[in-house]
Amino acid sequence: MTTDIERVTGTALDRVEGRDKVTGLARYAYEYPADDIAYVVPVPAAIARGTITGIDPGDALAVPGVLTVLSFRNAPPLAGNDPELRIFSSDRVSYRGQMVAAVVADTLEAAAEAARLVHVGYDAEPHDVLLRPDHPEAYVPEKVNPSFPAVSEQGDVEAALGDAAVTVDTTYTTPAYHNNAMEPHATLAVWSGDRLTAYDSNQGSSTARDMLAAAFGLEPGQVRVVSPHVGGGFGSKGTPRPQIVLAALAARAVGRPAKVALTRQHMFAVTGYRTPSIQRVRLGADASGRMTALAHEVEEQTSTLKEFAEQTAVPSRMMYAAPNRLTTHRVVALDVATPSWMRAPGECPGMYALESAMDELAVACGLDPIELRVRNEPEEDPESGLPWSSRNVVACLREGAAWFGWAGRDPAPGVRRDGRWLVGTGVAASTYPARRRPSEATARATADGRFTVRIAAADIGTGSRTALTQIAADALGVPPERVDVRIGDSALPTASLAGGSMGTASWGSAVAMACVRLRERLDGAGGEVPEDGIEARYDTADDIKADAAYARHAFGAQFAEVRVDPGTGEIRVPRLLGVFAAGRIINAKTARSQFIGGMTMGLAMALLEESVPDAEFGGFLNHDLAQYHVPANADVANIDARWIEEDDPHLNPMGSKGIGEIGIVGTAAAIGNAVHHATGVRFRDLPIRPDRVLDRAPQIGGRNL
């Protein structure tokens, strides 16, 4: 080893697995081989609520190649504390699309054909699948994801609003959203006696192992989950989904390896989604625009199977200074699948409402939207009173304004035209917590001068394998070409899942410190490596306890230019700029990709995406990618992502903050604010579809036909 190697963290190192991916050598869950594989296709429930009165598998079993039909009548009971994973556990149906049976066959074609021939009888009951304001069954949960109190209150909000010189009282709605990763949820399950191996697409093999072991009453050591390459997840693969349990059940039932790959239609039912929300935001300010009151009250949905309450109002607890504050969450248990994590849960929908309301307050106060935010910048975390580890949201706003060309912006709405287009610009701030979770890693040196790092991390397309290679190389003082990083296998040292923008921070802390320890041992041995190598291990559990001393968040600012055709309702976004303060950037290339990917999802949130509930039959009407709209290349014009270098000593050995989610936060609000600036009309219900623009056309000067 040497000590004069140029640092590689911060550089735009190419993905270390890039060649394997573009040549097809990278193996994904469904591609793993096994002898004598059986194929499994689930049968979804056709009702939203009720009881199964009978299952007739006769016609399905008559299809050549069908091995068995699984249902609550013949499937063994499952354990664990996640009712979504206890498939075939009873005759009850809790939502449309729930797995009520499954066909196992020699071929996928036979299984798919036979699944349509399983006859299921139901005793349907009246159902309720629609979130609506002031639902009579709404209640306050004990906590919101992951463990925040559902309600927080400081001061006297009502009195402060009554005394405020300027107030805003508005309600915003967001629909349900489904995370549709490129790779569908898929599993190959293989039993060897009482030991189970699952090749699975997930965001954390350690977590999947533990939950799968609990479901089958096994010790974690009896289960291995292999997931080195994952084609995206966006949160939907953060914890195991029913297909991994189904694959294991089927493999045990027929005594052969079994494969399951969910279709898009299945994914809209059983892999989670972002809850719709109804958000009332009330802001009060004095004549100078300094806020005196902030109230953010949220209603959202959960399922009757288990409670998941998204922390939608939580970012309002720390974003701006206001002495009188109230945030609340109420949920309704509907006859729907359980909502779950989707990129930037809580912050994404919550900051849409807050940042839209801030724009409305800026208009009401006659202030530039950036200046309003600067005037309400808190010196410390308003909720906890903790000092910031670092907070550069003002720098993001100021620098972004200069790069975007904000100076001289005419604040008057609805007055700029370019031919048939109305033109406007908007801004919003963004934030996401800088978390990390306990993880373990080993680093090993071998006599040939190479190093191997092992940790059960996940790479869901974010480039984590490459970032960990860079972190290890710098900690060891060697070029990255001499470092091999092994991830994506629960047999490796235990790691937290990829989620909450905490993957690199969590895993990188363990990797960096394991490499530091290894380097110390090598130095103690005079740099000599014995034939059997030298290894070091590090567990970050104790280190993370110190994180509670600071409020740790990444921040950013989003700027958008839009063009609106009042004659067609069409909205175009020719320019998007995101400026971020996210600690030390580990890889400039993959970071930019993450920021731009998040901003693209934010554009989709603003203009395209929505899962439409089926009030009559349950489930969702647009349950495929033909009807659930996501951006194509033509929808995404000039997106630019930049960042401000931060030196934050209170984070982790790398000084980094998570970047996977903050890109989506604030983008929808920036676009919505720009649409208001272009048209003079405020659209508070997402997405801002052409038909909604046309409905308001008389307010923006007619259709201009």
Q: Which residues are catalytic?
A: 661
DSSP code per residue over 79-114 = -SS-TTT-TTSSSEE-STT-EEEEEEESSHHHHHHH
- Closest to 405 in 3D by CA, of 535, 280, 577: 577
Element (H, E) at 578: strand 571-581
**Cα 567 from Cα 111, distance rounded (Å):** 49
**Cα 379 from Cα 381, distance rounded (Å):** 7
Residue with tokens 């790479």: 459
**Cα 188 from Cα 311, distance rounded (Å):** 34
CB proximity list for 356: less than 8 A, separation 6 or greater: 170, 172, 281, 428, 669, 672, 673, 684
Question: Could you tell me the CA-to-CA distances from 261 to 28, 580, 611 in Å, in that order?
Answer: 11, 37, 22
3-state secondary structure 118-154: CEEEEEECCCCCCCCCCCCCCECCCEECCCEECCEEE
565: helix, strand or coil: coil
**Cα 227 from Cα 685, distance rounded (Å):** 39
**Cα 622 from Cα 625, distance rounded (Å):** 8
CB proximity list for 662: less than 8 A, separation 6 or greater: 344, 347, 430, 431, 432, 501, 554, 555, 556, 580, 582, 595, 598
Helices (H), 277-346: none
270-294 burial, b at 16+ Cβ within 10 Å, e below that, comes to: bbbbbbbbbbbbbbbbeeebbbbbb
Hey, what are 275's tokens? 């809850």
